[in-house]
Amino acid sequence: MTAAYPVESADLGRGREFLAEFRTLAAEKGQEWEKVLRADAGSAPCQIKRGLASFVRVVWPRVEARLLARAAAPRTVLFLHNAGLLARYWDEGGHDTLVRLQAAARRKRRPEAMSAPPGSACSAVRLALRPM
């Protein structure tokens, strides 16, 4: 694959994509990162707290735009990995983001995409496990 196509690695965990945007949003809104982590830790799987969910719904479109910009060159493969946060925040935009990235990959002259689907819509991944 890498010999035939330029590959853009997109690490959605470990602070490289999703968490970087999330930290930026928290700073823009004047929220302490520790408060965000506490809200995440206090959210049960599939029951994300409303305030946290509202932030997540803003973060996913930013991540999507960032990924599409990185993979804008013709025939570029966007390789998503460490994507547990897509599953953790599935209902808060993770699903829609994944669907739009897949749709972009199918369009002519758009990024190619290859991703492993999340194992569960309710991943046990927590923000606190992914410090920067």
Identify the pLDDT of residue 109. 52
Query: What is the rounded end-to-end Cα distance, in angstroms, of the chain?
Result: 30
Identify the pLDDT of residue 132. 39
Identify the pLDDT of residue 4. 77
Nearest to 102 by CA among 86, 91, 89, 88: 86
**Global confidence as pTM:** 0.77
Identify the pLDDT of residue 121. 43
pLDDT tens column, 30-54: 999 999 999 999 998 778 999 999 9
In angstroms and rounded to an integer, the radius of gyration of the C-alpha atoms of the chain is 15
Identify the pLDDT of residue 49. 94
Identify the pLDDT of residue 1. 66
Identify the pLDDT of residue 2. 66
Where helices occur in 4-110 by DSSP H, the ranges are: 18-28, 33-41, 50-70, 84-88, 95-106
Nearest to 80 by CA among 25, 10, 8: 10
Identify the pLDDT of residue 110. 44
Query: Which segments in the chain show pLDDT lower than 70?
Result: 1-2, 15, 108-132
